[in-house]
Amino acid sequence: MLRGFYTAAAGMMANQRMQETLSNNMSNAYTPGYKEDQGTLRAFPELLIERMGSKEIPTKNGFKVPDNGHVGSLNTGVYMQEAVPSFVQGDVKETGVGTDLALIQNSVPDESGSLFFRVQNEEGEQRFTRNGNFTVDGEGFLTTNQGYYVLDDNEEPIATGGMDFHVTDGGTLSVEGQVTTLGIAYTPDAAEMVKEGNNLYRLSEEGMIIENPGEEEGVSYSIQQNHLERSNVDSNRTMTDMMNTYRSFEMNQRVLKAYDQSMQKAVTEIGRLR
């Protein structure tokens, strides 16, 4: 009886975590460059139930031998194993704003690989983003909307001096005759990127990053100025998944309530002395 409590409760907790992941995706459906998280559910290890007994052999001394048999497996619940970002390219929309840059991934050698802009956080550490919704700060440096410097191919902040600059398809930025190349990074396994918030990623200890990739690495990309990469969240599918997750949560809730009522009846009625 108590095992049923734990199984139903585990299902409710897994559905709650999945709902939180889907809600976060939905809230970022219009965040440029956002990559949705895909939650994976996994069952706890199964238990093999075995019947243990003995069989008496009709002999003079009543000799007994073990008589065991497999009953079957018992699943002990489910849990949400992890939330993995999907780095599928989002749609590109035209904004007409010169500081908006869309990173178009034309071809990469690895199916799980992805390209990123290189930026610098407040601690001076390098981070990565797909959000090209940039701006220019008061000192004339190209930054993200959170104030993080956008880096060039030498890991230096990019000085534009103002909003009037041009970026070529190859990522070359021209300002008053000065030429700077945007810092682009490539990872062959985007699953090793860890979300930090504000649409920033850092590389995990097991991950690998290639700075300023090109044809030698089999990477091809282009930059579209006055454009933004939209979120890759499918709002309709996400809303449907949220409804299904909520129904699954309610179903486990009803099971838990049924177990509770059965336990209450067992305590208050079955054990009553008359």
- Please write the tens of the pLDDT for every residue from 115-134: 999 999 988 899 999 999 99
pLDDT > 70? residue 23: yes
The H-or-E segment that residue 15 falls in is helix 2-27
Number of H helices, E strands in the chain: 2, 22
Q: Dump pLDDT digits (tens) for 246-256.
A: 999 999 889 88
Q: Give mean pLDDT, residues 60-73.
A: 69
Indicate if the pLDDT at residue 258 is higher than 80.
yes
Share of the chain above pLDDT 90, in %: 43
CA geometry: angle at 41 spanning 37 and 42, to 5°? 140
Report pLDDT for 268.
76
Q: pLDDT value at position 126?
A: 93
* pLDDT, average across residues 109-118: 90
Tell whether the model's pLDDT for residue 24 goes beyond 90.
yes
- Residue 62 pLDDT: 64
Report percent pLDDT > 70 for the chain: 91
Rounded to an integer, what distance in angstroms lies between the CA atom of residue 159 and that of residue 141?
4
Range name among 35-39, 84-88, 172-176, 231-235 with the lowest pLDDT average = 172-176
pLDDT for residue 264: 78
- Dist CA 239 CA 23 (whole Å): 9
CA Rg value for the chain: 29
SS (H, E, C) 124-159: CCEEEECCCEEEECCCCEEEECCCCEEEECCCCECE
The upper half-sphere exposure of residue 152, i.e. CA atoms within 13 Å in the direction of its Cβ, equals 16
Would the pLDDT of 135 be above 90?
yes
How far are the Cα atoms of 35, 47, 59 from residue 229, in angstroms, in the given order?
A: 11, 47, 83
* pLDDT > 80? residue 209: yes
